[in-house]
Amino acid sequence: MENPFVIKPYKSKDLFCDREKELEIMVTNCLNYSDMTLISQRRIGKTGLIMRLMDELKENHSDIATIYFDIMATRTLDDFIKLFAEAIMKSFKPKTSIGNKFMTLIKSMRPQLTFDNITGEPQFQLVYQSPQEKVQTLQGLLEFLDSQGIHIVIAIDEFQQIREYPEQNMEALLRTYIQHTQNLTFIYCGSKKHMMTDMFVNEKKPFYSSTSFVTLKKISVESYSSFIKRLFAENGRTIDEDSVHFILDWTRRHTYYTQMLCHTVFANRAESIGINDVKDACQQLLSQGESTYLQYRQLLTAKQWNFLIAIAKEGSVRNITSAEFLGKYKIGSPSTASRLVEALLEKGLINDDVTITGTSYELNEVFLSRWLEKM
C-alpha cells in the first residue's frame, strides 16, 4: 500500500492539505496577470503550492499554460538559460504547434542551443560566443513565449540564486526584459527569506514593488487534523484524537516535519494508532537524524551551539536579548546574543518570524529542535 503522506513537494490534490485561500489568491493573481512573490520559512510548502496551483490551472483554466523551473543548482546565466529552455520544452511538447515553433527557434539561435534527445528528456547545450549573445538568447526565449498569443504562467523557484551568478546586474537585466512582456505572469519563489525579501522589498533593487506577496503560514490545526484522520481512514487505519494532537504539537505544524512524522507512523503499519505508536515514530526520527545533528555541532562554535540549545529548549523565543533569557542560559551580553542570532540566521539554522508585536525566533529544523531540547 502506498504511503499517502508524501514527502516530495506535490503528488496530487487529494494528498495535499488545505492552502485553499492561498490557492484562490494565486489563481486570481494569475487571471489578472499579476506577478507574485512567494516567501515563507523553509519547508513550509512553497514549491508544493506552486505545483498545486499549476495543477489547478490545468484543470480549471486550461487556456493558461504553465512553466516551472528550479534554479537552485544553477551557477551562471548559461545554466539559467539551459534550464529555462528545457522547462519550455517540457511544457510545449515537440509535436504541438508551439513546441514545433520552439524547436525551429532553438535551431536558429545564435548562440546556439543544441538539443540532445538520448534520454528522451529534452536537454540543451549552450554554445555561445559572447556575454552579449547570451543575453540575447535570454531575451529571445522571453520574446518567443510572449508572442505565442496565449497566457503563460512562469514560476521560477529558488529565484534568489541569480544573485550568485558571476554576471553583473542579473536582476536589472531580467527585470527589464520581463517588464516588457504582455502575456506572461511570473511567480518568484525562494527559500532564502532574507535575500528574497531584499530583492522585492528594497526600493533600491530592480524588482522592488513589482509583485504582490503571497505569504505562507502554518496550516491550521483544524485543517491538518482532519487531513491526517482522513488519510489514515482512507487506508483502513484509525488514529485517536490525542495522537493527532500530539503529532501537530510535536512537529509544530511545520509541514515537512508533520508529513514526515505521519509518513513514519503510517510506514510502521499499526492499524489502530495510539500515542505510543506516535512516540515510537518520533524516537525513530530522532535516532535517524542524530549523526547529522552531531555534524552540525562540528560546524558551530561552542557559543553558537549553546545558543541553539537555548532556543530549542524554549521552543520559540520572543525577547532574544532580554535579561531573563540571557541569564537563564548564561549567554552573555545582548550584543553577544545579537551576533549569535546573525550567525545562526546566516547558516539557516534559525528562523525569524517578524510580526507587528515583535520578532520571535525558532529553529528551522523541528526534529533538531526536539533533539536539542533534551540536552
Ligand X SMILES: Nc1ncnc2c1ncn2[C@@H]1O[C@H](COP(=O)(O)OP(=O)(O)OP(=O)(O)O)[C@@H](O)[C@H]1O
Q: Looking only at residues 256 through 285 of this chain, which bind ligand X when binding is defined by CB under 6 A?
A: 256, 259
Q: Looking only at residues 27 through 46 of this chain, which bind Mg ion when binding is defined by CB under 5 A?
A: 46
Residue 154 grid cell: 512562469
Binding string, 35-74, against ligand X, x = CB under 6 A? -----x-xxxxxxx--------------------------
Partner whose binding site includes residue 122, from Mg ion, ligand X, none (CB under 5 to 8 Å by kind) = none
Binding string, 190-229, against ligand X, x = CB under 6 A? -x--------------------------------------
Partner whose binding site includes residue 6, from ligand X, Mg ion, none (CB under 5 to 8 Å by kind) = ligand X
Contact flag: residue 47 with Mg ion (CB under 5 A): yes
- Cell 518567443 maps to which residue? 144
Contact flag: residue 4 with ligand X (CB under 6 A): no
Residue 8 grid cell: 516530495
Binding string, 158-197, against ligand X, x = CB under 6 A? ---------------------------------x------
Distance of closest approach, residue 6 Cβ to ligand X, in angstroms: 5
Q: Pick between residue 185 and residue 255 the one whose CB is nearest to ligand X.
A: 255
Count of chain residues binding Mg ion (CB under 5 A): 2
Contact flag: residue 251 with ligand X (CB under 6 A): no
CB 144 within 8 A of CB 118: no
Distance of closest approach, residue 52 Cβ to ligand X, in angstroms: 7
Partner whose binding site includes residue 111, from ligand X, Mg ion, none (CB under 5 to 8 Å by kind) = none
Residue 104 burial class via C-beta count within 10 angstroms: exposed 0-12, middle 13-18, buried 19 and up:
exposed
Distance of closest approach, residue 325 Cβ to Mg ion, in angstroms: 32
Instruction: Kindly state the helix (H) or strand (E) to which residue 161 belongs, with its residue range.
Output: none
Partner whose binding site includes residue 256, from Mg ion, ligand X, none (CB under 5 to 8 Å by kind) = ligand X
Distance of closest approach, residue 39 Cβ to ligand X, in angstroms: 10
Burial call 280-295: b when 16+ CB within 10 Å, e when fewer: ebbeebeeebeeeeee
Contact flag: residue 254 with ligand X (CB under 6 A): no
The C-alpha angle 165, 163, 85, rounded to 5 degrees, equals 60
- Residues 161 and 239: their CA atoms lie apart, in Å, by 42
Q: Count other Cβ atoms within 10 Å, centred on residue 98.
A: 19
CB 157 within 8 A of CB 189: yes
Q: Pick between residue 42 and residue 175 the one whose CB is nearest to ligand X.
A: 42
Partner whose binding site includes residue 16, from Mg ion, ligand X, none (CB under 5 to 8 Å by kind) = ligand X
How many residues belong to the chain?
375
Instruction: Give the ranges where the chain is alpha helix by DSSP (H).
Output: 20-31, 46-60, 77-91, 97-108, 131-146, 170-179, 193-201, 221-234, 241-250, 255-267, 275-299, 302-314, 323-328, 334-346, 366-372
Reduced to 3 states (helix: H, G, I; strand: E, B; else coil), residue 36 is strand
Residue 226 burial class via C-beta count within 10 angstroms: exposed 0-12, middle 13-18, buried 19 and up:
middle
Distance of closest approach, residue 192 Cβ to ligand X, in angstroms: 9
Distance of CA 186 to the CA centre of its chain: 16
Contact flag: residue 17 with ligand X (CB under 6 A): yes
Nearest residue to Mg ion, scored by beta-carbon proximity? 47
Kindly list the residues in this chain that would bind ligand X in the complex (CB under 6 A). 6-9, 16-19, 40, 42-48, 191, 255-256, 259
Kindly list the residues in this chain that would bind Mg ion in the complex (CB under 5 A). 46-47
